[in-house]
């Protein structure tokens, strides 16, 4: 008999239980943590910019070619696009069926964008098109501001762009990091139409002049071979390159006569300043001080979206560690805090479930001890519970489930079910010992002859209740699938433990 095989080989039974526990602990560490199962369709976000264009122009010149190529992407449910005249941005969200591997479909989306690229305006091609995997639910909002007002929002925003944004966007698990209310430094030429009419200059003349002279050219070297005469020196000719100072933009030549007497420069028709590149969005928030007074601040917010299936607790820890490291070198006067953090709800829910698990363990111990009135016998179901519960995480991880409120709730309910199998084996073994006065090993072997079939029947009946739930369709089916499978796996493992580990422990722990 199979049970006899494990009872007479306690080391093998113990090794199987230990392997299950270790596999479950490793799976617990590797599994993503979420508040709820991922029932939101996975999303790919396509972003393009058409500077200076209206929404109608973006729709005709950018949206139409891209959306035409996106039609027919594998596993796509629908598309949703939007365009903004303020910052000339086009955003296309492509939603896929729940469970779709975005890494596989992303390659298809990139190929289709490459096909649409020649049909897009030259300015859009220069800006480039980005494709990002992201969870549409907002994860973190971290405002950066100056509490004293000593530092301008332009300075803070540019510090974020140069030193904070590149670090946070590279954190593993971060899908998209955005800056809301950013004020990137830029040279702005405020054109004077009266002066432009006087010098007979139009806007396109100024744009062409700036584009031609604000460019990085590769001129080459002097005295390059082949040469008729030998040169003493050979060096690389370095052109000025891109503009770095306001004076360079001011001195840009728009038009000049052949003799060089009449020269029209940008400063003649425009007021050139160093200001922010865009004022389209602003970020304001209110915060209480130590005296509970409310103050309004303006700042730049870092918005973080995750890749679908990321471990939110791990990503939050890595972002916090990166910000603490950056804070050591951050200029004095810049403050930041977590204005919104969705991981707080996850941590609270996990703590509540863990406390419930501990209370359930305590209640099981008290009830079993009350009725069995044998400490050594009480330890048998107490040892069997962690093997079934922790080992279930290994199977939920293999099935692609995350650790969330529903899976942990399933674990709580499973405690009362998995302890039943161990109690059945324990009570039968103890009864046989009292009736026949035999050894604990013989009692365990005799008990398994009687209860092995009922234990397997219990497992099958419980699985017959919960497994059909996994075949429900729609979002409700995805939501309840993890709950039902968690209980089914825990009950199945409890049956395995009741046939292997529990009778072995009865043979070791019970004394006549």
Residue 228 has pLDDT above 80, yes or no: no
pLDDT of the residue at 22: 92
Q: Provide mean pLDDT across the span 432-448.
A: 82
Residue ranges of the domains in the chain?
2-37+345-509, 41-134, 186-276
Q: Provide mean pLDDT across the span 140-162.
A: 87
Quick one: tokens of 29?
């560490």
Quick one: tokens of 80?
């949703």
Per-residue burial over 356-366, b if 16 or more Cβ lie within 10 Å, else e, is ebeebbeebbe
The DSSP annotation for 220-233 comes to EESSPSS-SS--S-
pLDDT of the residue at 86: 61
CATH number of 186-276: 3.20.20.70, 3.30.420.40, 3.30.2090.10, 3.30.930.10?
Answer: 3.30.2090.10
H, E, C per residue of 15-47: HHHHHHHHHHHHHHHHCCECCCCCCCCCEEEEE
3-class secondary-structure state, position 193: helix
Number of other residues whose CB lies within 10 A of the CB of residue 186:
12
Question: Hunting for tokens 């029947």 — which residue is that?
Answer: 457
pLDDT tier for residue 144 given thresholds of 50, 70 and 90: very high
Answer with the residue of higher pLDDT: 480 or 325: 325
pLDDT tens profile 282-325: 888 888 877 788 888 888 899 998 887 778 888 898 999 999 99
Phi then psi for 265, rounded to 5 degrees?
A: -115, 170
Residue 128 has pLDDT above 80, yes or no: yes
Lowest mean pLDDT among 4-18, 29-43, 107-121: 29-43
DSSP, res 63: I
CA gap 138, 135 in Å, rounded: 8
pLDDT of the residue at 260: 67
- Strand 220-221 to 236-237 pairing: antiparallel
CA gap 425, 447 in Å, rounded: 7
- Yes or no: say if 393 and 31 are a contact pair by the CB < 8 Å rule: yes
Answer with the residue of higher pLDDT: 172 or 83: 172
Q: Provide mean pLDDT across the span 398-415.
A: 81
CA gap 347, 408 in Å, rounded: 12
Residue 105 has pLDDT above 80, yes or no: yes
pLDDT tier for residue 139 given thresholds of 50, 70 and 90: confident
pLDDT of the residue at 484: 87
pLDDT of the residue at 319: 92
Nearest alpha carbon to residue 90 among 128, 122, 118, 119: 128
- Yes or no: say if 357 and 364 are a contact pair by the CB < 8 Å rule: no
pLDDT tens profile 379-393: 888 888 888 888 888
pLDDT of the residue at 209: 87
Residue 110 has pLDDT above 80, yes or no: yes
Q: What is the CA radius of gyration of the chain?
A: 34
pLDDT tier for residue 85 given thresholds of 50, 70 and 90: low
Residue 452 has pLDDT above 70, yes or no: yes
Residue 52 has pLDDT above 80, yes or no: no
Mean pLDDT for all residues in the chain: 83
CATH number of 41-134: 3.30.70.1430, 3.10.20.30, 3.30.450.20, 3.30.460.80?
Answer: 3.30.70.1430
Number of other residues whose CB lies within 10 A of the CB of residue 265:
17
CA gap 88, 343 in Å, rounded: 33
Answer with the residue of higher pLDDT: 116 or 239: 116
Terminal-to-terminal C-alpha distance of the chain? 24
Residue 84 has pLDDT above 70, yes or no: no
Residue 36 has pLDDT above 70, yes or no: yes
Residue 431 has pLDDT above 80, yes or no: yes
The DSSP annotation for 369-418 comes to HHHH--HHHHHHHHHHHHHHHHHHHHHHHHTT--B-HHHHHHHHHHHHHH
Answer with the residue of higher pLDDT: 173 or 37: 173
Residue 125 has pLDDT above 70, yes or no: yes
- Yes or no: say if 300 and 199 are a contact pair by the CB < 8 Å rule: no
pLDDT tens profile 482-504: 888 888 888 888 888 888 888 88
Query: What's the number of CA atoms in the CB half-sphere (13 Å) around residue 209?
Result: 21
pLDDT of the residue at 322: 92
Q: Provide mean pLDDT across the span 348-375.
A: 78
The CATH number given to 2-37+345-509 is 1.20.1640.10
Nearest alpha carbon to residue 327 among 164, 161, 150: 164
Residue 481 has pLDDT above 80, yes or no: yes
């Amino acid at each position: 008999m199979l049970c006899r095989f494990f009872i007479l080989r306690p080391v093998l039974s113990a090794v199987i239980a230990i392997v299950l526990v270790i596999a479950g602990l490793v799976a617990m560490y590797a599994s993503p943590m979420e508040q709820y199962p991922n029932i939101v369709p996975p999303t790919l976000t396509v972003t393009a910019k058409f500077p200076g264009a209206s929404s109608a122009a973006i729709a005709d010149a950018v949206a139409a070619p891209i959306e035409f190529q996106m039609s027919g992407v594998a596993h796509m449910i629908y598309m949703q696009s939007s365009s903004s005249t303020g910052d000339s941005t086009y955003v296309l969200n492509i939603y896929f069926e729940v469970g779709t591997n975005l890494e596989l479909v992303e390659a298809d989306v990139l190929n289709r964008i490459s096909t649409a690229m020649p049909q897009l305006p030259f300015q859009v091609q220069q800006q480039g098109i980005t494709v990002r995997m992201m969870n549409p639910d907002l994860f973190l909002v971290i405002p950066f501001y100056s509490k004293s007002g000593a530092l301008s929002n332009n300075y803070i925003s540019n510090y974020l762009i140069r030193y904070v944004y590149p670090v946070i966007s590279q954190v593993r698990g971060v899908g998209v990091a955005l800056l809301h209310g950013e004020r990137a430094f830029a040279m702005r030429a405020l054109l004077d139409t009266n002066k432009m009419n006087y010098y007979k200059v139009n806007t396109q003349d100024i744009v062409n002049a700036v584009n031609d002279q604000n460019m990085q050219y590769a001129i080459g070297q002097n005295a390059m071979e082949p040469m008729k005469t030998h040169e003493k020196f050979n060096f690389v000719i370095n052109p000025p390159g891109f503009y770095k100072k306001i004076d360079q933009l001011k001195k840009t030549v728009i038009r000049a006569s052949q003799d060089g007497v009449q020269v029209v420069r940008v400063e003649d028709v425009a007021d050139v300043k160093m200001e922010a590149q865009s004022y389209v969005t602003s970020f304001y928030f209110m915060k209480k001080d130590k005296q509970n007074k409310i103050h309004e601040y303006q700042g730049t917010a870092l918005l973080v979206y995750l890749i679908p299936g990321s471990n939110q607790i791990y990503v939050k820890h890595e972002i916090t560690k990166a910000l603490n490291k950056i804070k050591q070198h951050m200029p004095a006067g810049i403050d930041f805090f977590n204005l919104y953090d969705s991981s707080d709800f996850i941590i609270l829910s996990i703590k509540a479930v863990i406390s419930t698990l501990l209370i359930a363990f305590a209640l099981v111990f008290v009830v079993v001890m009350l009725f069995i009135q044998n400490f050594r016998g009480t330890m048998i179901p107490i040892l069997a519970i962690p093997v079934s519960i922790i080992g279930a995480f290994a199977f939920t991880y293999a099935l692609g489930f995350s650790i969330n409120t529903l899976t942990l709730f399933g674990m709580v309910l499973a405690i009362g079910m998995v302890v039943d199998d161990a109690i059945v084996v324990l009570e039968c073994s103890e009864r046989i010992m009292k009736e026949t006065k035999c050894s604990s090993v013989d009692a365990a072997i005799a008990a398994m002859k009687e209860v092995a079939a009922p234990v397997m029947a219990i497992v099958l009946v419980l699985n017959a209740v919960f497994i059909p739930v996994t075949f429900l369709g729609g979002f409700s089916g995805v939501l309840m699938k993890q709950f039902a499978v968690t209980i089914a796996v825990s009950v199945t493992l409890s049956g395995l433990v009741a046939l292997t580990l529990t009778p072995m422990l009865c043979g070791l722990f019970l004394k006549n």
